[in-house]
Amino acid sequence: MLDIKIVKTDKPKAKPQGPLGFGKIFTDHMFVMNYTEGKGWHDPRVVPFADFTLSPAAMVFHYGQEMFEGLKAYRGADGKSYLFRPDMNAKRANRSNERLCIPLIPEEDFVQAVKTVVKVDEDWIPTEAGTSLYIRPFIIATDPFLGVKPSETYLFVIILSPSGAYYESGLAPVGIWIEDDFVRAVRGGVGFTKTGGNYAASLAAQVKAHDSGYSQVLWLDGVERKYIEEVGAMNIFFKIDGKIVTPMLNGSILPGITRDSVLHLCRHWGLPTEERKISVDELIAAQKSGALEEVFGTGTAAVISPVGKLRFKDEVMQIGDGNIGPVSQRLYDTVTGIQTGVLPDEFGWRTTVE
């Protein structure tokens, strides 16, 4: 159990009015904890949200030794604040840490830190439908040193951002660009971790996709460039011939917590599910034959995001009739219902911030 010191701001900011957007507004406080080799993690504290001072030589700036997580706090109709499966974020954080030679954080400490800072800024959790408090834990390497090796000092920080839909279009289906030139990750690399470099590597394709009118990039595998992996900020699902199909976890894609929850729900509902390799050729053929019934992405920020159009080279595949499909809608309603306390928590996924 961490002994977290709390220092409250004497200059609370005005709460946002009007549309929140995603990740633009930050609350009054943040959680900070230091790591020093030989001493371990120390000085856990909640302090006023403020800029950092770091050496320009800090290792994170040069070699990108950092990891991040993403989860949300929701305000229930009962006035309580809820988190969704934060233990899964804590576990995934440590899988990222292990791969990136960052010291691990005990899972219960990670969850305690999240709960503590959320509780301090609880009145920042927005209440309008489709909004939540996005929680961004991250760790950066802080040694002022230009040699390539694991840092001996780190900062673990949690910031909070009241947010609305990740995509400006909200629940309207988005267009996705299947990238045929750049790749994001390969097995044996860091694709399964949440680390900044994966997102830096994705930007060139994202700019290309945006310039052509698409919202996000769908990556193919880095070796054969043939099999579907995931989207820039979400995992991807297809409904093909009545089956819910998603790429299997293979080391190069992020094991999404929403992905896991969606698979669980579909199985619970008796829908056939498959985690396997899906080639882009299979998708094109399924779309042509009418077997491709729905496509949706899953993610903390993206929730359940219907996909209305997929482009691969010269092929533009229209999915459905331009509206959210029935399975996508049912998943959206169920996942958000559990998250916000509207539906019963049958699987023990919700935890209260106290």
User: What are the residues binding ligand PLP (CB under 6 A)?
Assistant: 70, 230, 233-235, 254, 256-259, 298-300
Among the listed ranges 115-123, 297-305, 319-327, 333-341, the one in contact with ligand COI (CB under 6 A) is: 297-305
Q: Does 301 bind ligand COI (CB under 6 A)?
A: yes
Q: Does 137 bind ligand COI (CB under 6 A)?
A: no
Instruction: Pick what 235 binds: ligand COI, ligand PLP, none; C-beta below 5 to 8 Å, kind-dependent.
Output: ligand PLP
> Which neighbouring-strand residues pair with 298?
235, 304
Long-range pairs of 343-351 with CB within 8 A, sequence gap ≥ 24:
346/268, 347/264, 349/84, 349/85, 349/261, 350/82, 350/83, 350/84, 351/82, 351/83, 351/86, 351/111, 351/115
Question: Minimum CB separation from ligand COI for residue 233, in Å?
Answer: 4
Q: Taken in order 159, 163, 165, 168, is the CA torsion positive or negative?
A: negative
Residue 279 or 351 with smaller CB distance to ligand COI: 351
Question: Minimum CB separation from ligand PLP for residue 299, in Å?
Answer: 3
Picking from 189, 123, 122, 155, the residue whose alpha carbon sits closest to that of residue 33 is: 155
Q: Does 300 bind ligand COI (CB under 6 A)?
A: yes
Residues 6 or more apart from 270 whose CB is under 8 A from it? none
> Which neighbouring-strand residues pair with 64?
none
Question: Minimum CB separation from ligand COI for residue 300, in Å?
Answer: 4
Count of C-beta atoms within a 10 Å radius of residue 4: 18
Instruction: Pick what 262 binds: ligand COI, ligand PLP, none; C-beta below 5 to 8 Å, kind-dependent.
Output: none
Q: Does 299 bind ligand COI (CB under 6 A)?
A: yes
Extended beta strands in the chain, E state: 5-6, 29-36, 40-48, 66-68, 71-75, 81-84, 132-141, 153-163, 174-178, 216-220, 228-231, 235-240, 243-247, 273-276, 292-299, 303-312, 315-318, 350-352
Among the listed ranges 74-82, 266-274, 298-306, 345-353, the one in contact with ligand COI (CB under 6 A) is: 298-306
Question: Minimum CB separation from ligand COI for residue 232, in Å?
Answer: 7
**205-234: contacts with ligand COI (CB under 6 A):** 233
Question: Minimum CB separation from ligand COI for residue 252, in Å?
Answer: 16
In angstroms, the CA 292 to CA 304 distance is 18
Structure-token pair, residue 51: 């800029």
Question: Minimum CB separation from ligand COI for residue 70, in Å?
Answer: 2
Residue 45 or 194 with smaller CB distance to ligand COI: 194
Q: Does 195 bind ligand COI (CB under 6 A)?
A: no
Residue 96 or 116 with smaller CB distance to ligand COI: 96
x/- contact string, 51-90, with ligand COI (CB under 6 A)?
Answer: -------------------x--------------------
> Closest residue to ligand PLP, Cβ-based?
256
Rounded (to 5) percent helix, strand, coil in the chain: 25, 30, 45
The site for ligand COI (CB under 6 A) is made up of 70, 233, 299-301
